[in-house]
């Protein structure tokens, strides 16, 4: 994200979901906030897969900084299913069905 490999939509999508996640944690009694956060996480999984697959540079253009940025993007993508599971458990604890 910080090495300008991906377009601005990658950063805006992930930072927006992060903001909704903070709102969902602060609003302990809101099911809508946690549902929006879960939906946003699931949507960013799909968009992250698309961004990584479309904008992955060829090996000739991979510097150490770009390799690190792509590695962190892939690591974030791998952790999102765990985050989705934990957010779903929070949803169930708040009374969601």
Digit-coded pLDDT (tens) for 45-81: 999 999 999 988 887 878 888 888 889 999 999 999 9
Number of folded domains in the chain? Answer: 1
- Mean of per-residue pLDDT scores for the chain: 90
Does residue 16 form part of some domain? Answer: no
Does residue 52 form part of some domain? Answer: no
Asked whether residue 2 carries a pLDDT value surpassing 80, the answer given is no
**Distances in whole angstroms, Cα of residue 57 to Cα of each of 19, 33, 42:** 29, 36, 25
Does residue 91 form part of some domain? Answer: yes
Which structure tokens are listed for 82?
Answer: 């765990």
Does residue 23 form part of some domain? Answer: no
Between residues 32 and 59, which one has the greater pLDDT? 32
Q: Count of CB atoms within 10 A of residue 67's CB?
A: 14
Asked whether residue 1 carries a pLDDT value surpassing 70, the answer given is no
Does residue 63 form part of some domain? Answer: yes
pLDDT at residue 67, rounded to an integer: 87
pLDDT at residue 40, rounded to an integer: 96
Does residue 82 form part of some domain? Answer: yes
Do residues 22 and 86 touch, judged by C-beta distance below 8 A?
no
Does residue 27 form part of some domain? Answer: no
Which structure tokens are listed for 84?
Answer: 């989705």
Q: Whole-model pTM?
A: 0.85
Instruction: Tell me which residue range forms the domain holding 82.
Output: 58-96
């Amino acid at each position: 994200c910080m090495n300008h490999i991906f377009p601005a939509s990658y950063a805006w999508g992930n930072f927006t979901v992060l903001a909704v996640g903070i709102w969902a944690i602060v609003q302990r009694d809101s099911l809508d906030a946690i549902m929006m956060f879960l939906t946003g996480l699931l949507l960013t999984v799909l968009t992250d897969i698309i961004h990584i697959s479309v904008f992955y540079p060829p090996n000739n253009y991979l510097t150490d900084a770009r390799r690190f940025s792509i590695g962190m993007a892939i690591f974030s993508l791998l952790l999102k299913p765990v985050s989705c599971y934990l957010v779903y458990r929070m949803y169930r604890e708040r009374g969601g069905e």
